[in-house]
Homo-oligomer: A and B are copies of this chain.
Amino acid sequence: MATELLHEAPPEKQRSLGVVRTQFAELFTDDRPLQLACGARLGPITVAYETYGVLNSEASNAIFVCHALTGDAHAAGFQDELDRKPGWWDGFIGPGKGLDTSKYFVICANVLGGCQGTTGPGSLNPATGKRFCLDFPFLTVRDIVAVHSELVTFLGVKQLLAVVGGSLGGMQVLEWSIRHPDQLKAAVVLASAPKLAAQGIAFNAVGRRAIYADTGFANGDYYGKEGPKYGLALARMVAHITYLSEDSIELKFGRRLQDSDQFAFNMQKETEFQIESYLHYQGKRFVQRFDANSYLYLTRAMDYFDLADGQPSLSDALKAAKARFLVASYDTDWLFPTSQSRDLVTSLLKVGRHVSFVELLCPYGHDSFLIDLEPLAQLVGPFLERSMNDVSSPSA
């Protein structure tokens, strides 16, 4: 018996999707480019995406997952047999999980302007044969969603069962619900907001300043060189603080020292406290996986996001939406506090949309939607099932 147990997959792999390959689609063309909100045109656009589960014959079980600021298409499973680190939402996507791949066909794609396979500032500009760098066109959440929407059509799905996302992902869900209202039956918006508040813009501004001020930035033309590695790491450090709650950071690190139980009394020692060492580590690791230009473009897309833009009110903007909504916030999230979700929900209710709303209690701050997956699964699972069985036409 003991031997048999040893031969089983480790528990965390049992419910995993195993090895998943990232795929690539080429959307739009030079002749039929994407018309961006800024007025520029872009095409062709390569999109990196992954799918999990099987699309049913009616193509009615597809769910699109929108990733947050620094996520990518690799949301679940492993990249090869030796890979030990699964995708960023592996705990939520898989057989029997929150997005149950034994029932649903789940799609996740790297965003436009990203650096994990989808066309972005680090891609080659077909017009010049060189990388775009800061010549990459300015992009918005609307443009990101336009590319996702095109990918869904490319995959043969006329209407998604649901679009799901947290943080910047949740902004994409909202944008999708009003720009392409017939393309989704349900919208799941987690730890997000209908616009970025001034404090969020402020923190993004600090991160960008760190990148711009790094001498390695070279006005964005740093590929093949060291690049703004200090600035990008710094941007991640400050952002990372905003993703954690005050209580979780206190509980996890408190005032504990890194190497000793005695103060060093040394101005040259930069990482004396565990929290410092942790943030420095997060910064360094981020530089290995992310591109500074993408960080600039995507934080700006967040800054610009205001669902009510051009409309008299948020409610007016939401009149275009047809989906059923599930909105969840977290009590310890101070970057996207519950008050912002409540504004969204009130505005949805004002125009008679179907919306379920809950503030989840979780100590982990903004990152809770990436960590505390069991309570989320208990909410999202039944909501999706109800949406799947809902044969009535979308509201409005």
Contact = CB atoms under 8 A, between A and B. Distances in A.
A103 interface: no
Nearest to A134: B267
Contacts of A134: 267-268
Given A210-B210, A212-B270, A337-B246, A275 B39 contact: no
A199 B231 contact: no
A210 B235 CA distance: 10
Contacts of A276: 201-202, 205
A238 interface: yes
A213 B229 CA distance: 10
A224 B49 CA distance: 54
Contacts of A272: 303
A39 B196 CA distance: 49
A303 B231 contact: no
Interface stretch (A7-15, A72-80, A248-256): A248-256
A276 B136 CA distance: 22
A271 to B, nearest CB: 8
A205 B275 contact: yes
A123 to B, nearest CB: 15
A138 B266 contact: yes
Contacts of A213: 214, 230-231, 234
Nearest to A216: B215
B296 A267 contact: yes
Contact of A197 (B201, B246, B337): B246
Nearest to A212: B270
A297 interface: yes
Interface string A175-207: 000000000000000000001111101110110
Contacts of A296: 267
Contacts of A304: 263
B273 A205 contact: yes
A193 to B, nearest CB: 12
A109 to B, nearest CB: 23
A322 interface: no
A237 to B, nearest CB: 5
Assembly stoichiometry (copies): 2
A268 B208 CA distance: 11
A279 B206 contact: yes
Contacts of A208: 270
A295 to B, nearest CB: 11
B334 A255 contact: no
A297 B205 contact: no
A271 B283 CA distance: 24
B334 A202 contact: no
Given A138-B267, A198-B253, A198-B255, A237 B300 contact: no
Contact of A202 (B196, B234, B241): B241
A354 interface: no
Contacts of A136: 267
B249 A199 contact: yes
B38 A241 contact: no
A202 B138 contact: no
A306 interface: yes
Contacts of A231: 213
A250 B205 contact: no
Interface in A216-231: 220, 230-231
Given A38-B265, A197-B246, 12 more contacts: A197-B250, A198-B249, A198-B252, A198-B253, A199-B241, A201-B276, A205-B276, A205-B279, A206-B237, A209-B230, A213-B234, A272-B303
